Structure 1
Amino acid sequence: MIRAKQISIREFRGVRELTLNLNEKNFAICGPNGTGKSGIVDAIEFALTGNISRLSGAGTGGLTVKEHGPHVDSRNKPENAQVSLTVHIPSLKQDVTIVRTVKAAKTPKLVPDTAEIRAVLNKVSLHPEFKLSRRELIRYVLAEPGKRSQEVQELLRLDEIEATRALLQKISNACTKDFTNQKDARDRAGIALTSAIAVTKLSAASILEAANAKRALLGLPPIAELEANTSIKDGLVSTTATPIQASKVAKAVAKADLETTRLALKNLVGEEHKAWITAASFQVAQLTSDVEFLKGASKSQLIQAALKSYDEQVCPVCDTPWTPEHFRKHLTEKLNKYAAATKKKSDAANEIQPLITGLGELRRSLLTAAKYGPQLMPPVECPEVKNFVASTDAKIQTLSNLLPLEETIAILAEISVVPTAIGDELTKLEVAVAALPEPSQQDAARDFLSVGQERLVAYRDASLRLKKAASAAETAKTVLDTFGESTTAALDKIYKDVEESFSRLYRLVNHDDEDNFKALLKPSMGKLGFDVDFYGRGFFPPGAYHSEGHQDGMGLCLYLALMSHLAGDAFIFAVLDDVLMSVDSGHRREVSRMLKSEFPNTQFVLTTHDEVWLKHMRSAGLVDGKQFAHFRTWNVDAGPTEWDGKDVWQELEELLAKNDVRAAAALLRNYLEYLSKELCQSLRASVEFRGDMQFTLGALLPNAIAKMKKLLKAGRVATESWGQTEKSAVIVAREESFNLATQATQAEQWQLNTLVHYNEWANMHKGDFEHVVKAFRALEDLFLCRTCNSTLYITPDYGEAESLTCLCGESHFTTKKKAAA
């Protein structure tokens, strides 16, 4: 998306004033811990996103960009904390400068400012994963499967998949529940119908057989086929009851309905029902500690929206200031508790459902029985039945809601208790119905057809509702399954591609001992397993047998594989913040080569506290020439100080102006040690190897001087052999100047000359030491190009030297003689 060209930082984090030219190329920042490297990383992230991830997340309680983004001396003036980042946008072929202050972190100034530029930069801000620190790197490798799945899906922008799946699952569950309820209603209507027409199995044939038998008694023609709108009482003429029949109640149907009611009462106190009560009571008891979260479970969507809308400063709902870490931690904990409470509620609801079904059947049976009371002669009053039905309605409602929880617990404790008066009133109904005169065959046939038709209509309506519910449930399940199958297949392919890319990158880094390395990314519902091969002995989690250094390498390779899949050709910028701190030096060189060869179009900004790692990056060609900043120290007043010749000599002048010879001597000694390492690296000078990599100044500078003399001599001889008289004269002049400079510093007799030892320097007077500083500055100048100020270096990087050159080519001459004719 973008490449960085230049960054200027002012009063931001630990930096007072600093400008770095990144030039759209790889750039390294090296320095001991505490010298300000991470401040540069924070500045880049802040310029592009308005946020600093180092000040958010776990372990950063109380930290905010607004409070802790500015330099400590500017904390009360956030408008002075400013980062200016110039980037190139390849897709638009245009440069743009982003200027962002801590005070207005969310409203950067863009120069130029166009809709197209803002669209690109907005897209970059949505991908803060362009920056990788070791804290983020290791979480991909050592995280728990559930957490890793979340981290990886967020990185790949797949987190919405799970949200969509959850929504589809919720719809499917609701449709399935409705289907179950409609099936129960249809079954109850079927039972009522079979009871009314006295058949054992409900079918079109059995209904027609029973109905036609009664129709024959009434002289009505038989029904040939039972269709959707067929009425079994078609042709029946309404008649007035005979004098002997004092009631409108169909005796046979009433007796069957009362028997069903007695059975429902018996089931309510049966052993199966008691077992359901015990199971439901246990599940409800698990909810007592989650009452508050059950009441607010519907707020989870609001909380998720708040998390997405949070601007790192104030809550988007109530405008209350929050620190990012506290805000996210607080809401995440709430979401987790809501989810846990909802799961417990679902488990309890599943256990309670049979009780609700049983109560519903009893309620309907009692209502059916009670309706006969007013129709009997004399009427039979059933006030206790009506009161019990009303209380049962309330119990069903409470059990369905589960809240208030104490009421649910109380209902479960008394659910099997049926007042004696209920049984007494049912007995009165049974006695009254039994006392009814037996109807004539014709009257019984009329009652049969009338009640049968009424219940047949109810059964048809229930069947129609069930059919619609079944269709909806099937459709919802098909959508859920299709979504699951397609996303699983897509995720499997994504993870397979990432797995192969990761394994290949890791093999490139560790080809010396793990050339057959493989990895397995194993996605499952809400989880992502990650196992790696261990020398052909099997697949294990990375933390099982691999060293910390190997784990760091895995984290980097997995990150690169994920980013490659996510961005593709748009992966052209990444910040790697000290991500290989535990990788051994041999593999760091391989990492450098891997980054250079596999990601040639990606601009990497890398930080490290290890100079060896910096040298590997430079020697592998990952970082060119002067594309690095080498910090030597940091203090609160000045910020980071670079190992830059001009900077050091200026600081030495300031120290001498204060007559602080001791501090100047220490600084000069440290700088010469740094410079000597750089010169030996550039000139490929031979140095006696030390396993601890702690080389003294006496072991480095004389070797660099000797190698430069040798190269100058070789260059003079070579240019003469080629007949390059003018170039040869330049080298001769440089040789003379170089010899005079080395004599002035007496550096060739370094081990014997006590003058150059730090203690002797520290005891010198200002006037004497000024000559030492001047001599060494003159010596340094002769290792540099006067035009581009870069250190002279040998080409090629290995084998026989062919030339001594600089970055601009102005100070270039061959060291290879012309072959004899």
Structure 2
Amino acid sequence: MRIDKLTLKNFRGYKETQKFEIGGEHALISGGNGAGKSSALEAIEFILTGKIDRLHGSGTQGIRAKEHLPHRDASPRDVQASVGFQTGNDIKVTASRRFTDQTVDINPTSPPAEFNDVKRLVEHGLHKLTRSDMIELVVSTPTDRGSLIDELLNLEGVDNRRKQLRRLRNQHYISNIKRIQRSIEEQEELLRETLEISEVEDSKLRDAVNRARATLGGDAIDSLGDWESLDFRRDLAGPEAQEISAFQREDVKNQLRRQGKWFDQTETDLISELEELETARRELAAQEARVNTDVLSVLERGQGVIDNETDACPLCGTNWDSEELIAVVERRQQQFEEIADQRQSLHSTGESVLSTIQSYLSRSEVLLAVLGGEIDVGEDESLRAYMNALGEIQKVVEMIRQEESQEVPDLRELTGELPSERASRASEQLRSKVEDQPAKSEMERAWEVLSTAESRLSQIAKLQSELEVKQGAKKVCTAARDELVQARTEVLEDRYSSVESTFKKYYESTNPDEADVNVQMEQTNAGVKFRIGFFDDELHPPHAMHSEGHQDMMGICLFLALSKELSEHQDRFVLLDDVVMSIDGDHREEIAKLFQGTISDEFQFIITTHDEIWEEQLRRLGVIPLENQYRVDWSRENGTVVRN
């Protein structure tokens, strides 16, 4: 899809209606600084997105679109901008917008697929190349270049799905798996205590069950059978007296003793741990706010290029004593290592706290289920209110451990709201009921062993089934993520190979003295590494051996090579906003020849410049049709005026 015409009125410096009748061919917009060249290109972004990205974000404090996008002599409602496109099917599409419109007006209302492709490019700012874009592509860190290339190749959605699968695996399945495993451990411990066995395995369980059956006059069993449908009391008929109160059960007694220890000491230790966790979280957040963690990859890269002979910062060029520069970089690196250690400590403390809370909640759920109708309503409500409050604390700790971005409540405030006194009093009342119970007979004890073994083993079997489901889901989630990463890597390898080949063709065309240049784009864990040869086969970072002008040529060639991989709609426009400032005359002429060649069948170039030499070269070589050579001038009275 190519640009056919652009019409502006009361947009930025454009006051009266001005038109660029381009007709799908290359175009040149020349003029001095502030004449309105870049504004013409920004108008396309405004029409399709409703904003100009340059007027938003960091460093734009005090800029208000309502005040600074319309012409200064016009009202926002007077802004008019429209752009017409030509498609490969000879369908013409017009998009227009007023400043006060919330949506873009598109005609026809159901445009071809090429239009949606263009709209996506513009929304990502990928329709236009500036010098800052070239620097980002060529000499940025692998991480930044990888992010930009992901945008160019429309892989953001794939990467987002990969991250979603990872979060789903970590936050949902792994957390649930740990919760279920803790519950199984709790059930097994209760079972060991009741049956007085050292471990939960078939032979020891069978022996304990058979001892109890013998006491009740029953025959021994050869195997336990299916844990989900156990009946150890089959063929045993006992008197009604054998149906004892839950308060006489050994597992209930043990649970209530643990409840007492919890409120006497464990809760105090837990609250202390929670306060330490909150303090550590705040300290880590404050330290991360002071240190920009985004520069870590830059530091790591910097350590690889700085040695005892380095006398200037490779990033900004500031002169340094080599030893002092090394010390500064190492000190910064140490700060990041300390942050990493703090984060690891935070995760470990969080894991410990979660284990303690989950243990209490699992035991308490079991206890209340066993007591059933024998517990008073007030006691049940007091313990459940406490469990709910503790569950909320558990959720917050999980958020901290997972480093979730939303605002996290203060743990100290939550612990202060725990209804501990009510719950402790209810626990004491339950323990007193145990003490009032008569002692069990040997047969009652044997009956309890069998009923407890049935219920505990059945519950363990259900938990293990649930665990298998969650573990299976985790495997699927992990496999899906790995497949996605592998597929993404394979796609990138193929595309990088194509990009390398196209870049090589473009770059060698603009640099005839560098024949058969060696180029490599490589996917790494940090992002995308870009290396290029310098009159040899050895690969170097672009800024290691090449001049600033050569780097700018690399940026142009790399951008165009990537653009070819952008989508199936290859014929598209590219806006080049003053991109040859640091390139010498001879090499500019080679770039003009490139634009004039077969590449013009794939791209429509709309070029802005204030440089008369570059302007003359484009004219002389016939890159720009005569009717598409525009000159813009600005005056206070008339605003920007377009001439050709």
Could you state the TM-score of these two structures normalised by the residue count of structure 1? 0.58
> Amino acid of the residue matched to residue 407 of structure 1?
R
SS at match of 1:407: helix
Q: CA deviation at 1:551?
A: 2.5
Give the structure 1 partner of residue 135 of structure 2: 138
With CA pairs under 8 Å and 6+ residues apart, which has the higher RCO, 1 or 2? 2
What are the residue-to-residue correspondences of 1:55-454 with 2, within 5 Å? 55-63=55-63, 67-73=67-73, 75-76=74-75, 78-79=77-78, 81-83=79-81, 85-91=83-89, 93-95=90-92, 101-102=98-99, 104=101, 106-108=103-105, 113-117=107-111, 120-128=114-122, 129-172=126-169, 173-228=171-226, 229-241=229-241, 268=266, 280-286=277-283, 351-362=349-360, 391=386, 394-401=389-396, 404-405=409-410, 407=412, 436=439, 439-440=441-442, 442-454=443-455
For residues 521 and 105 of structure 1, do their structure 2 counterparts lie closer, same or farther at Cα, with a shift above 3 Å needed?
Answer: farther
| Percent identity over paired residues | 23
Give the structure 1 partner of residue 326 of structure 2: none
> Amino acid of the residue matched to residue 224 of structure 1?
D
SS at match of 1:599: helix
Q: Is the 8 A contact 1:134 1:578 kept in 2?
A: yes
Residues 589-609 of structure 1: per-residue CA shift (max 9 Å, x gap): 121222333513122111222
Q: CA deviation at 1:115?
A: 4.1
> Amino acid of the residue matched to residue 183 of structure 2?
A
> Amino acid of the residue matched to residue 566 of structure 2?
L
For residues 116 and 194 of structure 1, do their structure 2 counterparts lie closer, same or farther at Cα, with a shift above 3 Å needed?
Answer: same
Question: Are 1:26 and 2:20 counterparts?
Answer: no
Q: Measure the CA separation in 2 of the matches of 1:47 and 1:277.
A: 52
Of the structure 1 ranges 359-368 and 609-618, higher mean CA displacement relative to structure 2 is found in 359-368
For residues 288 and 78 of structure 1, do their structure 2 counterparts lie closer, same or farther at Cα, with a shift above 3 Å needed?
Answer: closer
Residues 63-97 of structure 1: per-residue CA shift (max 9 Å, x gap): 46654444444x13753x54565543222x24456
Q: CA deviation at 1:481?
A: 3.0
For residues 471 and 85 of structure 1, do their structure 2 counterparts lie closer, same or farther at Cα, with a shift above 3 Å needed?
Answer: closer
Unaligned runs of 5+ in 1: 291-343, 645-821
Q: Is the 8 A contact 2:278 2:412 kept in 1?
A: no
Q: CA deviation at 1:181?
A: 0.8
Unaligned runs of 5+ in 2: 288-341, 398-407
- Matched residues, number: 571
For residues 51 and 596 of structure 1, do their structure 2 counterparts lie closer, same or farther at Cα, with a shift above 3 Å needed?
Answer: farther
Give the structure 2 partner of residue 581 of structure 1: 581
Of the structure 1 ranges 96-105 and 488-497, higher mean CA displacement relative to structure 2 is found in 96-105
SS at match of 1:476: helix
Report which of the two structures shows the higher radius of gyration computed on alpha carbons. 1
Could you state the TM-score of these two structures normalised by the residue count of structure 2? 0.72
Residues 140-184 of structure 1: per-residue CA shift (max 9 Å, x gap): 334454444333333333222233233323322212211111111
Residues 688-747 of structure 1: per-residue CA shift (max 9 Å, x gap): xxxxxxxxxxxxxxxxxxxxxxxxxxxxxxxxxxxxxxxxxxxxxxxxxxxxxxxxxxxx
SS at match of 1:582: coil
Compute the RMSD of aligned alpha carbons.
4.9
Question: Are 1:471 and 2:472 counterparts?
Answer: yes
Q: Is the 8 A contact 1:495 1:521 kept in 2?
A: yes
Give the structure 2 partner of residue 505 of structure 1: 506
Q: Measure the CA separation in 2 of the matches of 1:443 and 1:591.
A: 96
Q: Is the 8 A contact 2:509 2:590 kept in 1?
A: yes
Q: CA deviation at 1:578?
A: 0.9
Q: Is the 8 A contact 2:94 2:108 kept in 1?
A: no
Q: CA deviation at 1:274?
A: 10
> Amino acid of the residue matched to residue 157 of structure 2?
E
> Amino acid of the residue matched to residue 126 of structure 1?
R
Residues 477-536 of structure 1: per-residue CA shift (max 9 Å, x gap): 3333333333343344434433443344333323424742424343536x4444544555
For residues 521 and 234 of structure 1, do their structure 2 counterparts lie closer, same or farther at Cα, with a shift above 3 Å needed?
Answer: same
For residues 7 and 114 of structure 1, do their structure 2 counterparts lie closer, same or farther at Cα, with a shift above 3 Å needed?
Answer: closer
> Amino acid of the residue matched to residue 194 of structure 1?
R
Q: CA deviation at 1:38?
A: 2.9
> Amino acid of the residue matched to residue 211 of structure 1?
V
Q: Is the 8 A contact 1:65 1:102 kept in 2?
A: no
> Amino acid of the residue matched to residue 396 of structure 2?
N
For residues 205 and 499 of structure 1, do their structure 2 counterparts lie closer, same or farther at Cα, with a shift above 3 Å needed?
Answer: farther
For residues 412 and 506 of structure 1, do their structure 2 counterparts lie closer, same or farther at Cα, with a shift above 3 Å needed?
Answer: farther
Q: Measure the CA separation in 2 of the matches of 1:61 and 1:246.
A: 75
Q: Measure the CA separation in 1 of the matches of 2:248 and 2:80.
A: 91
Q: Is the 8 A contact 2:190 2:251 kept in 1?
A: no
> Amino acid of the residue matched to residue 550 of structure 2?
H
Q: Measure the CA separation in 2 of the matches of 1:375 and 1:125.
A: 65
Q: CA deviation at 1:366?
A: 7.7
For residues 104 and 176 of structure 1, do their structure 2 counterparts lie closer, same or farther at Cα, with a shift above 3 Å needed?
Answer: closer
> Amino acid of the residue matched to residue 578 of structure 1?
D
SS at match of 1:127: helix
Q: CA deviation at 1:565?
A: 0.6
Q: Is the 8 A contact 1:522 1:530 kept in 2?
A: no
Q: Is the 8 A contact 1:232 1:449 kept in 2?
A: yes
